[in-house]
DNA sequence: TCACGCCCATGCAAAACCCGCATCGGTCGA
DNA sequence: TCGACCGATGCGGGTTTTGCATGGGCGTGA
């Protein structure tokens, strides 16, 4: 095998021996620090000098000195060894879930209320977990969960995949968005009957299937029938139409944070009092170590925490 | 030996195996790249995972994937390996003398002329050689050369040490520094006779022994005797006294670059026409690999180069 | 559906490596 | 000049690592 001279690469053990010898300037003490005897340490350093092709230590039987090249190499060796330690540390932190990156899918509507609270919670309870955000509709989230493009999705039911574990993370009431001057604004609270035969900006069946189906069901159960004016999927677009006086809209209460001028909100009584549900879903076999720590943020006790925290903000 | 489980530190060989496997995502090809067979490579990676306490690769019989921790560790491992290569390179460059640091002692007077030219030369001919500058008088330089605090000294004779190798690097003429209004300024050239019985700012015997002894000898040989007014060792201090009209001074021609207002210079004829000598000296057994490359800058042919270069500047 | 191929893990014996002990050779100080 | 100190080296033993052969799991194609 002629590869010997070709394989000119040192090993970390040799670096550790060299650093010990360079710092002690005494092979015996250096060997003791390395928990070995002096002869092997001598050999490790000879080997290192051989593969480097450079004399690193000037040794007489009376004194050990660094050569100029050895001085430079000592600095480099220390840097390398420091780096190996920090690399091991960082990797173990990732593996333990202490740190890491979670890729999170979320729907536009959840970005108004739940997501900000969640990120606030993360900043204080899991600061080493990075969260990469990807806005997408619920069906795309399910697809992305399967392929691994996102670790966790914040999405609307139904979620019918056996590969997923799910957790309800929030329930919201519906509120009515009404333009300034709408006569229904005199009431403190509305019912679905108040929208019977009235123009209503509606959700699109494709882009916002969940809200579309939910409202359809609610109105049917309540025996009321609004006049659908326009079908949209983005809540802020719907509010813009409301502001233009085209009609009312029914939106999750968190949408009030959008603060459109000349658009006012009133609570609406519905059969389940908080019909707007948001679920977290993730692949049961997801091996991202940061997942467990991230999911802790979603557990009920954490949710209460963060809702209390959000309340204090006001 | 019970230290096995205690020595939880990986080796570079394991990093190289891991990087190969992580990049190929195929143990067989990775092993081929590492010039070995697949089983040892498997074992190296198992060993690495064991000492790290972290699973880095997810391997089924059908596919090899990086775990989240493995992704992070791959980046770290590449960084470490890059660093080892650059460390070896840098160290070999130092050892070969291509790069390095020379600590240079110099006298204040040589800082006015020779040193700037030398540094200019270094910048273009040996840019990888750093020069650390230490101003000190000639006797201190001799002492520092012996102890190794400086590699090379730019100093004045006599240099009587057998440990040193010396090289004359410059010869300068003396010029007279005269205050505005001095009657001798009408002459284009002076002789030492022009200073007979005239006030002269003189060099101190301790701090500037070389110039002191040289002037004393020159005047004696010329049969002239100036009136010593004050003894100083710093040329710029002497010129300040000249400017104040206290008397004339004799300084190396390079001191003209100090440009004192109201002080004008005239050449002086002396027996050796250029009596101000500057030597480089270094320990013959200095092992700094950069020394040879640095000394090349001082050789006659280089000196001519840099004087030509300095001339072009004007 | 079954057999084949691909691929990583593992058992095993040989080779290589590394360690510690003993000792050598050189240098400094008493 | 002798002894103490210190790094280098010869050598035997034990551990590690390697390569070969093989096992076992999982897709794939007939």
Phi, psi of B176 (to 5 degrees): -90, 135
Q: Which two tokens stand for residue B73?
A: 């560790």
A 264-303 residues inside an 8 A Cβ radius of B: 287-290
- Rounded to a whole number of angstroms, the distance from the CA of A72 to the nearest CA of chain B is 6
Helix axes B209-222, B138-147, angle to 10 degrees: 140
Q: Would you say A262 and A179 are in contact if contact means Cβ atoms under 8 Å apart?
A: yes
pLDDT of residue A301: 63
Give the global pTM. Answer: 0.72
The alpha helices in chain A, defined as continuous H runs, are 12-24, 27-33, 38-52, 68-96, 114-125, 138-147, 209-222, 235-243, 290-296, 300-313
Please report, for residues B5, B138, B307, the alpha-carbon distance to residue B153 in angstroms, rounded to integers and kept in the order given.
55, 8, 20
Position B302 scores a pLDDT of: 55
Map B231-246 to HEC letters. EECCHHHHHHHHHCCC
**Are residues A95 and B69, on separate chains, in Cβ contact within 8 Å?**
yes
d(CA A200, CA A250) in angstroms, rounded, equals: 8
Q: Is A147 on the interface with B (CB under 8 A)?
A: no
Would you say the C-beta of A231 is within 7 Å of strand D? no
Residue A55's nearest CA partner among A71, A33, A39, A38 is: A71
Please tell me the distance from the alpha carbon of residue B240 to that of residue B262, in angstroms, as a whole number. 10
Phi, psi of A57 (to 5 degrees): -125, 135
Q: Does A89 touch chain B if contact means CB atoms closer than 8 Å?
A: no
Question: Contact, A143 vs A151, CB < 8 A?
Answer: no
Q: What is the pLDDT of residues A242-287, one digit of tens each?
A: 998 889 999 998 888 888 888 999 999 998 889 999 999 998 888 7
Chain B hits for A294, Cβ within 8 Å: none
Helical (H) or strand (E) element with B38: helix B38-52
Which position has the token pair 């004829």?
Answer: B269
Strand C closer than 7 Å to the CB of A39?
yes
Close Cβ partners of B66 (under 8 Å, ≥ 6 residues apart) = B22, B25, B56, B57, B58, B74
Which pLDDT score, from 0 to 100, does residue B276 have? 93
Write out chain B residues lying below 8 Å of A20, CB-based. none
**pLDDT tens, chain B, 314 aa long:** 333 334 458 999 999 999 988 988 888 888 888 888 899 999 899 888 988 888 899 888 778 888 888 888 999 999 999 999 989 988 998 888 778 889 999 998 888 878 988 998 888 888 888 899 999 888 889 888 887 889 999 999 888 777 888 999 999 999 999 999 899 999 999 999 999 999 999 999 888 889 999 999 999 999 999 999 888 888 888 999 999 888 999 999 888 888 888 899 999 999 889 999 999 999 888 878 888 889 988 886 655 555 665 565 54
Nearest CA to B138 out of B204, B209, B202 is that of B209
- A56 close to A115: Cβ distance less than 8 angstroms: no
> Does residue B101 belong to the interface with chain A, where contact is any CB pair within 8 Å?
yes
Asked if the Cβ of residue A265 lies within 7 A of any atom of strand D, the reply is: no
Nearest-neighbour CA in chain A from B54: distance (Å): 6
Tell me the shortest Cα–Cα distance from A120 to chain B, in angstroms.
24
Give, as ranges, the nucleotides of chain D with any atom within 7 Å of a protein CB: 5-10, 15-21, 24-27
**Tokens (6 digits) for B13:** 């060989």
Dist. CA A22–CA B35, nearest whole Å: 33
Residues on chain A touching B100 (C-beta within 8 angstroms): 68
B28 is near strand D: CB distance < 7 Å: no
Q: Do B73 and A55 touch (CB under 8 A)?
A: no
Protein residue minimizing CA–C1' distance to D27: B62
pLDDT tens digits, one per residue of A124-134: 888 888 898 98
CA distances from A291 to A211, A304, A305, B70, B289 (A): 29, 20, 20, 16, 55
Give the tens place of pLDDT for each residue, B96-140: 877 888 999 999 888 887 898 899 888 888 888 889 999 988 888
Mean pLDDT of all residues in A206-210: 85
Statement: the CB of B64 is under 7 Å from strand C: yes
CA distances from B277 to B111, B134, B154, B264, B302 (A): 14, 20, 10, 23, 17
What distance in Å separates the CA atoms of residue B68 and residue A95, rounded to the nearest whole number? 7
User: Are the C-beta atoms of residues B305 and B117 closer than 8 Å to each other?
Assistant: no
pLDDT at res. A300: 63
Question: Quick count: other Cβ atoms within 10 Å of Cβ B38?
Answer: 16
- On the CB side of B85, CA atoms within 13 Å amount to 7
Question: CB–CB of B92 and A79 under 8 A?
Answer: no
3-class DSSP state of A132: strand
CA of B40 to C1' of C14 (A): 15
Positive or negative: CA dihedral B211, B216, B222, B225: positive
pLDDT tens, position by position, A161-184: 778 889 999 899 999 999 988 999
Q: In the numeric block, which tokens belong to residue A201?
A: 């900006």
């Amino acid at each position: 095998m002629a590869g010997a001279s070709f394989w000119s690469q040192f090993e970390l053990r040799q670096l550790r021996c060299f650093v010990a010898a360079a710092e002690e300037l005494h092979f015996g003490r250096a060997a003791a620090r390395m928990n070995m005897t002096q002869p092997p340490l001598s050999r490790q350093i000879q080997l290192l000098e051989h593969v480097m092709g450079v004399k690193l230590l000037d040794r007489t039987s009376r004194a050990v000195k660094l050569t100029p090249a050895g001085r430079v190499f000592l600095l480099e060796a220390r840097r390398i060894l420091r780096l190996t330690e920090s690399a091991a540390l960082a990797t173990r932190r990732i593996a333990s879930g202490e740190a890491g990156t979670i890729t999170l899918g979320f729907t536009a509507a959840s970005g108004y209320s739940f997501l900000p609270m969640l990120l606030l919670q993360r900043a204080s309870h899991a600061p080493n977990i990075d969260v990469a955000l990807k806005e997408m509709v619920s069906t795309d989230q399910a697809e992305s969960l399967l392929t691994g493009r996102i670790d966790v999705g914040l999405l609307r039911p139904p979620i019918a995949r056996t590969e997923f574990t799910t957790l309800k993370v929030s329930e919201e009431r519906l509120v009515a968005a009404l333009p300034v001057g709408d006569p229904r604004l005199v009431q403190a609270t509305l019912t679905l009957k108040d929208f019977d035969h009235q123009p209503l900006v509606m959700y699109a069946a494709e882009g916002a299937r969940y809200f579309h189906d939910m409202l359809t069901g609610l109105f049917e159960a309540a025996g009321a029938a609004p006049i659908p004016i326009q079908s949209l999927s983005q809540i802020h677009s719907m509010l813009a139409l409301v502001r233009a006086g085209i009609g009312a809209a029914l939106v999750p209460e968190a949408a009030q944070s959008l603060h459109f001028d000349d658009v006012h909100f009133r609570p609406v009584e519905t059969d389940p009092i908080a019909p707007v549900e948001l679920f977290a879903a993730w692949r049961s076999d997801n091996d991202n170590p940061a997942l467990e720590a991230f999911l802790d943020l979603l557990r009920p006790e954490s949710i209460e925490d963060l809702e209390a925290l959000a309340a204090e903000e006001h």
